Amino acid sequence: MELAYIPSPSRGVLYLGPVPLRGYAFCIIIGVFVAVWLGNKRWVARGGRAGTVADIAVWAVPFGLVGGRLYHVITDYELYFSEGRDWVDAFKVWEGGLGIWGAIALGAVGAWIGCRRRGIPLPAYADAVAPGIALAQAIGRWGNWFNQELYGKPTDLPWAVEITSSTDGRLPGTYHPTFLYESLWCIGVALLVIWADRRFKLGHGRAFALYVAAYCAGRFWIEYMRVDEAHHILGLRLNNWTALFVFVLAVIYIVLSARKRPGREEIVEPGASDGDWDEGAAAVEDAEPDLEPESKSKSESEGPSAKADAEEKKDAGASGGGGVKKEPESAEKS
């Protein structure tokens, strides 16, 4: 009886007409768009302007890609700088190899620059985009499926992934689809952050810290299942230690931040509400000139009768004007 399994794609390149697009890069691009879309909706719901998330992402995304690649190259330097390797391959991001830790760290630097340019607090921005980042990771992990990389131990489970080619010398077979495990975990993290944010009104960076802590918890056990080459410290893979360390930092931040600044920011983007008022005021001002012709025509139609009334009052005043003028004279004589 043939076992069920998840087949790997026959090729890792998609063609948009004559343009080749690697599946890995395609997944990252889709993930970025989803993150910006969801982040924008959450940012506007918190009182910010539409489009701000995309403007800051122009800084955060390139920084994140550079940071992710740097982390990967530094922690797996032997893939690029050992004997028989070509160091130029370190620049071929489209072939795979991004470390989430470096992407988040340097991406935060890019976001900080973008936030400073807009006068926005970075923690508020991070809270808005946190679930979107988790979903971007969920989509991006399917790039590992296209590349047939970062899988787990051999297994005959029905959801095992079939590996037909390998760059690490392993035999073709069925393995734990750790990319799928992490993808599903990241979707769960996104839903958790959205729910907790609505339930507890998380602010001042706590929604982002919750995302970081929840992701690290999943990454720890998923990393433990992987069989690709990695540096080990005290029996654990380097990424296990990184996940554990970052998890502790995120939990500490949540606790201390909740004590120091409970609740959520009242204003996430200075001037956003004023901008909305200005737009409304402009609409009113645009409508006011339309009333002028009506008022003018009304005054013109009432003009003759009003003029006649004024002449009658003038005549009445003239007929009784003598007595009125004599009173001051008699008063002066007396």
Tokens representing 21 are 């697009």
Rounded Cα distance, 177 and 132, in Å = 23
More confident residue, 135 or 9: 135
From the list 161, 142, 159, the residue with the least C-alpha distance to 151 is: 161
Domain presence at residue 97: yes
Q: Which residues contact 103 (CB under 8 A, 6 or more apart)?
A: 64, 65, 67, 68, 71
Residue type, 91: F
Tokens representing 265 are 């920011």
Domain presence at residue 59: yes
Domain presence at residue 228: yes
Quick one: pLDDT at residue 268? Answer: 84
Quick one: pLDDT at residue 174? Answer: 92
Give whichever of 71-85, 289-303, 308-322 has the largest mean pLDDT: 71-85
Q: First-to-last CA distance in the chain? A: 135
Query: Into how many domains does the chain fold?
Result: 1
Distances in Å between the alpha carbon of 28 and those of 15, 151, 322? Answer: 16, 18, 97
What average pLDDT does range 265-286 have in this prediction?
Answer: 58
Phi and psi (nearest 5°) for 267? -125, 120
Beta carbons within 10 angstroms of residue 324's beta carbon: 9
DSSP track, 248-311 = HHHHHHHHHHHHHS-S--S-SSTTHHHHHHHHHHHHHHHHGGGGHHHHHHHHHHHHHHHHHHHH
Q: 57 with 180: CB under 8 angstroms? A: no
Tell me whether residue 141 is annotated as binding: yes
Going by pLDDT thresholds of 50, 70 and 90, the confidence category of residue 161 is very high
Q: 205 with 123: CB under 8 angstroms? A: yes
Domain presence at residue 287: no
Domain presence at residue 106: yes
Q: Which residues contact 114 (CB under 8 A, 6 or more apart)?
A: 55, 56, 57, 58, 59, 60
E strands present in the chain = 13-16, 19-22, 161-163, 173-175, 232-233, 236-237
Q: 218 with 189: CB under 8 angstroms? A: yes
Mean pLDDT is lowest, of 3-7, 168-172, 309-313, for 309-313
Q: 111 with 61: CB under 8 angstroms? A: no
Domain presence at residue 302: no
List, for residues 297-323, the tens digit of each pLDDT value.
444 445 555 555 555 555 555 444 444
Beta carbons within 10 angstroms of residue 27's beta carbon: 22
Mean pLDDT of the chain: 83
In sequence order, what are the beta bridge partners of 236?
233
Phi and psi (nearest 5°) for 4? -80, 150
Domain of 121, in residue numbers:
13-275
Quick one: pLDDT at residue 331? Answer: 40
Domain presence at residue 317: no
Domain presence at residue 318: no
Q: 165 with 133: CB under 8 angstroms? A: no
Q: Is the pLDDT of residue 273 over 70?
A: no
Residue type, 138: A
Beta carbons within 10 angstroms of residue 53's beta carbon: 26
Quick one: pLDDT at residue 334? Answer: 35
